[in-house]
Amino acid sequence: MKIHHTGIIIDNIEKSIEIYKKLGYVLNSEIMIDDNQYLKIAFLKSSDGFQIIELIEPLGEKSSIKNFKDGYHHICYDVSEISDFASYFKSLKIGKIFTKPINAVALENRQIIFACLNNGIFAEFILGGGLHE
């Protein structure tokens, strides 16, 4: 597994982009609307290219994050090399997957799932192979 990005919930994506630019980040994508999860999303990359952050603004009452406070939300791993990720994750005994696969507009419609780790931290996984439960 390799880290893809860190997700941060914010209340105003345009203002937050300006803040992170002043901290040395560069806009790495256009601002995107995800109609599946009712979100506004943008990716920024650190000036050294080491880190990518995803800024996530909820869009209305149907947003998948409407009840979350601003701040850190998740770390995202690219697990596209693992063909049966659900079985693999279950074997690790480190948490529970709590979503079905979702097409992520901001990730070129690749499928993602979310899990809650045993320590209460959310993790997002970008899938490559099939998801079997």
Predicted confidence at residue 13, as pLDDT, reads: 98
Q: Give the pLDDT of residue 1.
A: 87
% of the chain exceeding 70 in pLDDT: 96
How many angstroms from the chain centroid is the CA of residue 31?
A: 15
pTM, to two decimals: 0.90
User: Cβ distance 44 to 20 under 8 Å?
Assistant: yes
CA 20 – CA 99 distance, rounded (Å): 30
Mean of per-residue pLDDT scores for the chain: 93
- The per-residue pLDDT for range 61-93, each reduced to its tens digit, is 999 899 999 999 999 999 999 989 999 999 999
How far apart CA 93 and CA 77 sit, in angstroms, is 17
Paired tokens of 14: 């345009």
> Tell me: the pLDDT tens digits for 19-30?
999 999 999 999
pLDDT digit string (tens) for 36-64? 999 999 999 999 989 999 999 999 999 98
As a CATH number, domain 2-126 is 3.10.180.10
